[in-house]
Each structure stands twice: as C-alpha cells, then as structure tokens.
Amino acid sequence: MREVVIQATHHPGELARIANALSLKSVNIKSVAALAIGHQGLVRIIPDNIEAARSALHEANIRFEENELVTVLLENQAGELTGVAAKLADAGLNLDAAYVVGLGGDMVELALAVNDVKKAKKILE
C-alpha cells in the first residue's frame, strides 16, 4: 500500500483541487488525513490506484511525495495502538502518519507511514 503526501497552501479550495484532480482519473480515496498549520497544509492520501494517482497529480501540476506504508491488523480495543507505537519507538523508528483503512467486527486495520518500512515490517510481524 502506498500514500501520496502533498504540501499545499492553506487556502479555500485546495483540498477540492486535489480531490478533483484524482477524481478526473477515477481514483478513489481509500483514506485521507489533512491538517493545516498557519498558512501551510498537509494532505496525505491513500489512493486505490497509485499509478492513476501519480498520473492525475502530474497532469494537474500538483507536487507530491510517495511513500510505501506498513499495514497492521489490531483488535479494536484500548491499548492496541500503544503497543504498536511503543514497538516502533523502541526500535528507533519515527511514525509520520497513521491511517484507519479498515474496520470489521472487533478488528481495525491501520496503515502506518514510518521512516524505515523494511525494519517496521519486521518488528510488526
């Protein structure tokens, strides 16, 4: 699973511009996280089709970074995120983002952006 990370200005319509570019290429957004600090915005998107997302963003002249994500399936109960975050921290890994990408029954699937995907996968197996 991969994400695109877009640094945007904090102006009305920025998220709409990004979402529209993706929709024109029929890219569905599986998960999104967005926030603004001052005049800067950060939008992190997990698209259903990374190739189409790349194409859409290039065509719309929207600069982005692309990262591989680590997925983990957890019980949907208190303390589960603590365990994952502690394992990553103990290994010296930075957690850049966490997404909920699935909920079912008593389980939750998270996608994590970390600074060393290979190491994180090994730790979270």
One domain, residues 79 and 103: yes
One domain, residues 59 and 98: no
One domain, residues 63 and 80: no
Examine the fold and report which residue of 67, 84, 106 is the final residue of a domain before the chain moves on: 67
Number of domains forming the structure of the chain: 2
One domain, residues 13 and 62: yes
> Is residue 125 very low, low, confident or very high in pLDDT (cuts 50, 70, 90)?
confident
One domain, residues 31 and 79: no
> Is residue 2 very low, low, confident or very high in pLDDT (cuts 50, 70, 90)?
very high
Using a 10 angstrom Cβ sphere, with 0-12 exposed, 13-18 middle and 19 or more buried, the burial of residue 122 is exposed
Give me the pLDDT at residue 100, please: 94
Examine the fold and report which residue of 67, 82, 110 is the final residue of a domain before the chain moves on: 67
Residue 40 has pLDDT above 90, yes or no: yes
Give tens-digit pLDDT for 41-86.
999 999 999 999 999 999 999 999 999 999 999 999 999 999 999 9
Structure tokens belonging to residue 25: 């290429």
One domain, residues 87 and 118: yes
One domain, residues 52 and 79: no
| Secondary structure of residue 84 in the 3-state scheme | helix
The span from the CA of 26 to the CA of 19, in Å, is 10
Give me the pLDDT at residue 30, please: 95
Overall pTM surpassing 0.85 (yes/no): yes
Question: Which residues lie across from 41 on neighbouring strands?
Answer: 8, 36
Q: Which domain holds residue 12?
A: 2-67
One domain, residues 75 and 28: no
